[in-house]
Structure 1
């Protein structure tokens, strides 16, 4: 009989019961009177996760798509482990210190790797990474995508058993350190790039040929001038008036032509720069209207 995550099979009913058990345990695990059942609860939680992993691997081997519910199992563990949404309860349930970008020491990694519920510990770190990377790369589509892809890659490796719990925790912490350094990247340029200028620079520098031929300093100057153009020409009605939008795009293209960007004439490079500029436009329009 073909297995299915959504059908009312014995396995599906078992997973449903384990999901409810996880929610109850997250709320009650701190009680001293329940200490004697901790090992049993942990066993069932491990079974739940491994069932999803094996189901996913089995489907992949048969060339079948993996249901979205299975792909998102680990991501949903945090939400399903607490009924009141209190994030601190999740860390307590995981048996780990609360993650912080300012205190990602080797001691933190060691404590987290020894957490009584490694799945919840991993998901707590993943959730923190998603929130922090989104905040620090706001309006920067290149860096947002880069961090999102790195997080997804790590979680896929963990789901596919390419990384152990301890290994993925160490990798997530290393990635978190990169996120913590993100806000200071613009300071490496002379003069320093503001966050909006850095977002444009990242879009321009995504073209490797431009970096190799024109160099980082020239690309940084292009970014500064593009931001100046956007601030000068953007209007609050730029999204609804075709003439305003066309003027913006024309100004951007003229500046890129002036600098002979991109040197390899790849249309995708221009498209990405346009996408980044339009992502910043609402911010500039709001500033102009204030």
Structure 2
């Protein structure tokens, strides 16, 4: 429709403003996709985001990137990253309900990003692969039945090997295959002095983790997130790389 003359200048300013916002987003995210995943949690990147002019846009950028990062990592490790998902949701809910302002929410989001980065590093320092780490965390969460950390790592490596040995395509859709995997997991745990009967929740967590990691076997459950949607207030933009 035709814009009345008095509104032309305002409309042009809005368009220019949104173009600048979009340019900032594209610049930040194009840097992000050219670098390793963890770069979005780096101090340099967090500092760059903090310098974005519009407070609501700063919050939206960090929220979106954190949400995607956590979502991808949850597909690899339920135990380690579930708490981060819950904290992020709680923080954003408080912001939307106006319980906290943009400055406070940015402070909380950056804190979550830093702690997520440290959690990832702590996992890497154990010397385990990502899939091994997922089962290490699952076993560490339950009853402490192995005193030596090295012995626990050995068990984890055998556990991954045992589970994979019993997998087949579309295995999560066949109860017979799932039962076979569960039985093999129980046998292995018993050899290390663990009682699956007394602690079925640990076996359930291991199976849940296996279904997340190996759902599309032989492809691991690792996902690349390449799209972003931002609402600047004046329009919704979809960015795909």
TM > 0.5:
yes
Select the residue among 144, 153, 168 that pairs with 1:210: 144
C-alpha change, 1:135 and 1:182, in structure 2 (3 Å) is farther
Cα displacement (A) at 1:123: 1.5
Select the residue among 30, 47, 52 that pairs with 1:108: 47
As a proportion of its length, which structure holds more helix? 1
Give the conservation status (yes or no) of the 8 Å contact 1:157–1:163. Answer: yes
CA RMSD for the aligned pairs?
Answer: 3.8
1:199 equivalent to 2:138? Answer no
C-alpha change, 1:27 and 1:275, in structure 2 (3 Å) is farther
C-alpha change, 1:125 and 1:107, in structure 2 (3 Å) is closer
Larger mean CA deviation between 163-172 and 215-224 belongs to: 215-224
As a proportion of its length, which structure holds more strand? 2
1:176 equivalent to 2:176? Answer no
C-alpha change, 1:103 and 1:243, in structure 2 (3 Å) is closer
Separation of aligned partners in 1, 2:174 and 2:28: 51
Match of 1:139, SS state, is coil
Structure 1: runs of 5+ lacking an equivalent: 1-23, 33-87
Q: Paired residue for 1:261?
A: 194
C-alpha change, 1:218 and 1:160, in structure 2 (3 Å) is farther
Give the conservation status (yes or no) of the 8 Å contact 2:70–2:84. Answer: yes
Match of 1:101, SS state, is helix
Separation of aligned partners in 2, 1:218 and 1:253: 17
Separation of aligned partners in 1, 2:46 and 2:201: 44
Deviations 1:80-133 (CA, angstroms, capped at 9, x unpaired): xxxxxxxx618469xx96685264249827x72x75432222121100101122
Cα displacement (A) at 1:178: 3.2
Q: Paired residue for 2:75?
A: 138
Select the residue among 136, 154, 177 that pairs with 1:244: 177
Separation of aligned partners in 2, 1:241 and 1:152: 34
Q: Paired residue for 2:204?
A: 271
Cα displacement (A) at 1:151: 0.7
Give the conservation status (yes or no) of the 8 Å contact 2:166–2:181. Answer: yes
Separation of aligned partners in 2, 1:144 and 1:155: 17
1:126 equivalent to 2:63? Answer yes
Give the conservation status (yes or no) of the 8 Å contact 2:171–2:177. Answer: yes
C-alpha change, 1:170 and 1:256, in structure 2 (3 Å) is same
- What is the TM-score of this pair, normalised by structure 2? 0.66
